[in-house]
Amino acid sequence: MNLQGVTRLQKEYKQLSTSTSVQNFVAVPDSQNIFEWHYCIYGLLDSPYEGGFYHGKLIFPTEYPMKPPSILMITPSGRFQEKTRICLSISDFHPETWNPIWKVETIMTALVSFMNSDENSTGCVASTSAQKREYARASLRWNVERDGQEGFVRRFESFFAKMGINEETLQEREKKIEQSRKEEDDGNNFKNFLIMAGIAIVVSAIIAYRMSSGEGLDKEDVLEGATEL
């Protein structure tokens, strides 16, 4: 094991734990493996990600800090493919541009900035702002429901107060998700109503035309008119 890497990461964790300047993310090493870190990005105000909590991983090579880490996001975001390495100038995709003086804080700051941009790269996905907002609304519940697999609560519970997560927050997220689904259902119901109303209008027009022209009208005529829609 690279003692330089272990010492460096331990020092960085201590610095992050006491830092008052870090915003929009928390990052902690795995309790069993100092080279695997978990982060949560949050508090991205005035963006499609507002209200979202995005859990991801930094996988450091044993040669760190001489080589860069892999960067992945676990929580669906509409910006990155889940559990897929993201290509950035500070990630393992570009060791030639890596600078050993860069730290976890540098990496996370760059990731947050890239997430808020429209720049495309390997590991990115395309989605609308509306889709990103829907992912943001669902992110906290998604993370909590998969705690047994990904350990969101176990890893970040001590930061919940800082992140603005409490029982009331969880309940409010549930209400927003249910409201969003209700609005979607209402929209679909209204769309179906318009379709049926359109059919009724066309059928009525056919009947009126046939009657005014002196033509007879039977059941098959009505069914044919509706089928043509």
pLDDT interval class at 37 (50, 70, 90)? very high
pLDDT at 80: 99
Tokens of 173: 């997220």
Q: pLDDT higher for 140 or 216?
A: 140
Check pLDDT > 60 for residue 28.
yes
Check pLDDT > 60 for residue 62.
yes
Check pLDDT > 90 for residue 70.
yes
Using alpha carbons only, give the angle 197, 200, 206 rounded to the nearest 5 degrees.
145
Check pLDDT > 60 for residue 218.
no
Q: What proportion of the chain, given as a percentage, has pLDDT over 70?
A: 75
| pLDDT digits 0-9 by tens, 112-131 | 999 999 999 999 999 999 99
pLDDT at 210: 64
Indicate which residue of 28, 87, 177, 202 is catalytic.
Answer: 87
Q: What is the DSSP string of 77-141?
A: -SSB-BT-----TTSTT-GGG--TT--HHHHHHHHHHHHTS----TTB----HHHHHHHHHHHHH
Check pLDDT > 70 for residue 169.
no
Question: Domain 3-164 is of which CATH architecture?
Answer: Roll (3.10)
Mean pLDDT value across residues 50-64? 98
Q: How many helices (H) and strands (E) does the chain have?
A: 8, 4
pLDDT at 175: 66
Sequence-distant (≥ 6) Cβ neighbours of residue 205 within 8 angstroms: none
Tell me the pLDDT of the chain averaged across its residues.
87
Phi, psi of 80 (to 5 degrees): -125, 150
pLDDT at 180: 62
Mean pLDDT value across residues 139-166? 94
Task: Give catalytic status of residue 40 as yes or no.
Answer: no
Residues 43/164, Cβ–Cβ less than 8 Å? yes
Check pLDDT > 80 for residue 32.
yes
* Residue with tokens 């009525």, as numbered in its chain: 204
Q: pLDDT higher for 55 or 173?
A: 55
Q: How many C-beta atoms surround the C-beta of residue 30 within 10 A?
A: 13
Residues 35/60, Cβ–Cβ less than 8 Å? yes
pLDDT at 34: 97
Check pLDDT > 90 for residue 88.
yes
Integer CA distances (angstroms), 20 to 25, 111, 155, 162, in order:
12, 19, 20, 11
Check pLDDT > 90 for residue 54.
yes
Task: For residues 10 and 35, give the distance between their C-alpha atoms in angstroms, rounded to a whole number.
Answer: 10
Using alpha carbons only, give the angle 79, 77, 27 rounded to the nearest 5 degrees.
100
Helix (H, G, I), strand (E, B) or coil at 70: strand
